[in-house]
Each structure stands twice: as C-alpha cells, then as structure tokens.
Structure 1
C-alpha cells in the first residue's frame, strides 16, 4: 500500500507556502486534480482522500467546487469523480493557442499594415473573449489593447464572429452563460447576436460599430481549424471615425476574410509543427 501523499500546502516549497500571497485552497484544489493518473477513470471520495492526504471535509468541499466549475464529473449513484474535458482544455489551450498565434502573426502583421488598423486573434473563455495575439500598425490612432485583454462576447465583433462560427451546441452553451450573467440584458443581447448571424451569412463577417464602445468599430471572422476545437476569431479594429462605410466594408472586409482563410490554411498545412 502506497504512502499517503502530503497535502498541497505541505508539498509546496516551504518559502512559497509561508508567503502571504500563497493561496492554500487553490493549491489543494490543484492537488486534488493531480490525484488522477493516466489509467484512472473514476475515483471514489475515499480514494481521493487517501491519495491527496487531505481531510474528508476538505475533499468534499473541493470536489463539489471543481464539479460545479466543470473540471470534475460526479457520478452521484456511486459518489465517484472523474476528470472532465475542461481540464484537458486548459492545457491544450495554452499550448495550441499560442502556437496558432505564432503562425498567424506574420499574416496579422501584414493585414495590420495594409489596413493601418489593429488586428487581433481571440478565443472564448466563459462568456468573454480573450486576445491571444495582437498586432498594431504604425498608424498613430490605434487601439491600445494587447494579449490577455478580455472583451464582452455579445457586443464585440470578435465575440459575434465566434458566435456565428460556432456549432449549435456551442451557441446554446454560450447563450446559457450570457443569460446567467445578466438575465435582464439577455433578450437584447440575443437579438444582436441573431442580427450578426444574418449579417455573417450574407457577407461572411460580423461587425460591431460603436456598439461596445462608441469610439470603436471592428469587423471579425471565425477561424475554424476543423479539428473539433472551438473556433477562434480574427478582427480588424480601430477608431469608429475612420473605420466606417466603404473603407471598412468594401476595402478592409475582403482583406480580413482572405487573411482568415490564409491562417486556417497555414495551420492545417502543419506549419505549427516546424
């Protein structure tokens, strides 16, 4: 019989564990996830207690929280737990989204210079969009956003492009999150997303002109790699006073659509493995 593992707070390096910035609850939650080995499918509560070395009550609270957040699956009949795909998504997102950003960057830089605008690549997190790559042109008036920036999904071109490129199942999931986030605003947000769907079907891209911020206009396309993961979104954005009318919709939109297709082709060609 193997020895009981130390709790996360004890297993951590002593200086780190004593630092006031160290969050013991978070460390213990991660330790509970590490209890699952490659050959494990379902683990009973008692086994999680044994492997983690944590008290029964602590494991109960942590497993309930992780299941509520979607990182563990709970089989109520037997009281067992299993890792959910959300845990895998954390690692794959870190590895692959940065690689996708690396491949996309030369194409994004070219698009930024041709349009003298900001070009961004983003992924969904919960009911928001997060930048994973961002390129600025040499224009003086440009968006001051950068990698890691979080944007609302329903009101932005990036979020709408994701929505329009998503499967029906993903749309339903995102819709539930948006509704739970702000029930009163959900009907208005849904109407805006449905208009974006119609626009995307007609012209091949989504837009948000002074709807998120009055001074900002942007257009976006979905980036669907075709391997089952959620689509990303590519956008051109900048001052609404400049990005409007024929310049935005007749000159820049075709360049955006073309760049989106080029990024997908580069990734599917296996360039990210070079």
Structure 2
C-alpha cells in the first residue's frame, strides 16, 4: 500500500558478502540458528547440516560454539540440538519493540473476522518473509502459522507483495540472492515475481494460489511506511478450496487493500518508531 513502486535510486547495491568487513563465520552461525522452524523442538546434527547446506564439520564447530554461548542446547545421548533461551530472547526483544505490530493489530483483527481467514504481516529476511504479526479468525479451517514463521519470498503472496512495493535496488539484491540460492528454479521464480508486479499495477494486490503449497491460497499488499525503510507485506490466506474466484478477488482482496491503506495511514499519523 502507499506507493506501490519507488523510483530507481541509482545503481544496485553491492553484495555485502563480498565486502572485506563481512564475517562469514558469524553469518554461518546465524544461518544455523535459522534452521529451526516454529514446529521444531530438537534437530539432529545431520538435519542441521542438510538445512543449512554447511559441511558437517562446520556445523559441529558452530553448534559447539553456540551451545557454549547459550544459544543452543545439546542432548549428547542423541546428538540433537534445540534453541536455548538466549536465542529466544533475541527474537522476543525484537517483537516486543516492534511498534508496527501494535499499530496494525486492530486493523488485522477486524479483517480476520470479516473474512474468517488468517491475516498476517511480514518482513523480508534474505529470500524469506518472516511473520511479525498474525491474526486468526474464529473459523475452524485457517492457516496454522504464527509469529516467527518463515516462508519463501518468491512463490508466496506475502513475498510478491513486498517485492512489488520495493525499490529497484532492493529488487536487484533479492534477485541476485534467489538466483544464487535456487539456480534450477530461477526462471520460474522470476516469472512469478514479474507476474505479481503486473498484477499489483493492474488491480492493487498480488496473488498466490496453490503455488507455494497446493492447499493454500492468499492475496497480499505491500505496506510502505513511506520513510525509506523496506516495505512490509500484509496478506489474507487460507485453504485454496475456499479462497478462490469471486470470494477471493471480489470480496477479500478489496477488503485487504482497504486494510493495508488504513495501516499505512495509522503508521504515518502515529509516527512509527522501531
């Protein structure tokens, strides 16, 4: 919402990983922590290696260090790891101080009840989107996701909505990362993002129906604070069997667009501080 596209702001930003100040070991340690999803409790060493894409020996060194610092817990009998309180505290501090969630929540709750669907607000992290606020309706069939959930950027309505509200520099950064991480899927991912850009220009919102998960459909809008910071994205989603056709595009999408604009207005009038 707000400005759907920002004008180009000069040449694309350089890849920070190529900067001599970039600490690869620190980045890998954070990548290891991000392997844990909301549903995970304990993960074995080999699963951490698989999810992170790091060599087993590197995972061993990183997990030992993170355990010593209190960010991971280790169960020697099984060789499994779990997030420890130090890691959880980092996330809770961010969410506690995330003023935008407080501003957006009343609008999101009203939309969730109106649509009887799940309403989510997310920010970009790398090539993923992270839920920072989530509202469920009283309906029985709704998405079981929650704050802290990470979903892929390119095939989802949330990611596509953020993409369509981003400036040229941010888009270039995301494209480089996607192409490097998923070279085989790159043409399909790029086509989906470009299609979303056209959709937003034509009707004001992005859509993803059974493209990320076959049973999920969602529509999304960008939420641009208007002060130069990255746009967020607001979505309405639920079972694809229900969210389709006129219900999705003629009822839910217009309500989503209005809610997104109401949140932008509230942010700009309330002086969001994060």
- Contact 1:97–1:132 (8 Å) recurs in 2: no
1:136 aligns with 2:136: yes
Tell me, what secondary structure is at the counterpart of 1:130?
A: strand
* Aligned equivalent of 2:182: 182
Q: Which runs of 5+ in 1 are unaligned?
A: 1-60, 70-89
* Aligned equivalent of 1:260: 260
* Aligned equivalent of 2:4: none
Q: TM-score, normalised by structure 1?
A: 0.66
Distance apart, 1:144 and its partner CA: 0.2
CA distance in 2, matches of 1:116, 1:62: 48
**Against the structure 1 CA distance between its residues 64 and 210, is the aligned structure 2 distance closer, same or farther, given a 3 Å change threshold?**
closer
CA distance in 2, matches of 1:127, 1:200: 20
Q: TM-score, normalised by structure 2?
A: 0.66
Tell me, what secondary structure is at the counterpart of 1:269?
A: helix
* Aligned equivalent of 1:231: 231
- Contact 2:103–2:266 (8 Å) recurs in 1: yes
**Against the structure 1 CA distance between its residues 106 and 67, is the aligned structure 2 distance closer, same or farther, given a 3 Å change threshold?**
same
Tell me, what secondary structure is at the counterpart of 2:201?
A: helix
* Aligned equivalent of 1:118: 118
* Bigger mean CA deviation after superposition, 105-114 or 191-200: 191-200
* Aligned equivalent of 1:65: 24
- Contact 1:103–1:271 (8 Å) recurs in 2: no
Aligned residue pairs, count: 193
* Aligned equivalent of 1:166: 166
CA distance in 1, matches of 2:165, 2:254: 17
**Against the structure 1 CA distance between its residues 179 and 204, is the aligned structure 2 distance closer, same or farther, given a 3 Å change threshold?**
same
**Against the structure 1 CA distance between its residues 138 and 125, is the aligned structure 2 distance closer, same or farther, given a 3 Å change threshold?**
same
* Aligned equivalent of 1:247: 247
CA distance in 1, matches of 2:272, 2:102: 8
Tell me, what secondary structure is at the counterpart of 2:104?
A: helix
- Contact 1:115–1:252 (8 Å) recurs in 2: yes
Q: Deviations over 1:8-45 (max 9, x none)?
A: xxxxxxxxxxxxxxxxxxxxxxxxxxxxxxxxxxxxxx
Tell me, what secondary structure is at the counterpart of 1:120?
A: strand
Distance apart, 1:62 and its partner CA: 9.3
CA distance in 2, matches of 1:64, 1:272: 31
Q: Which runs of 5+ in 2 are unaligned?
A: 1-19, 29-89
CA distance in 2, matches of 1:65, 1:166: 27
Aligned CA RMSD, in angstroms, stands at 2.6
- Contact 1:157–1:207 (8 Å) recurs in 2: yes
CA distance in 2, matches of 1:62, 1:227: 27
**Against the structure 1 CA distance between its residues 169 and 96, is the aligned structure 2 distance closer, same or farther, given a 3 Å change threshold?**
farther
Tell me, what secondary structure is at the counterpart of 2:250?
A: helix
Distance apart, 1:222 and its partner CA: 0.2
* Aligned equivalent of 1:73: none
Instruction: Choose 1 or 2 for highest CA Rg.
Output: 1
* Aligned equivalent of 2:207: 207
CA distance in 2, matches of 1:97, 1:164: 27
Q: What are the equivalent positions in structure 2 for 1:66-81 lying under 5 Å apart?
A: none
Distance apart, 1:184 and its partner CA: 1.2
Distance apart, 1:65 and its partner CA: 2.5
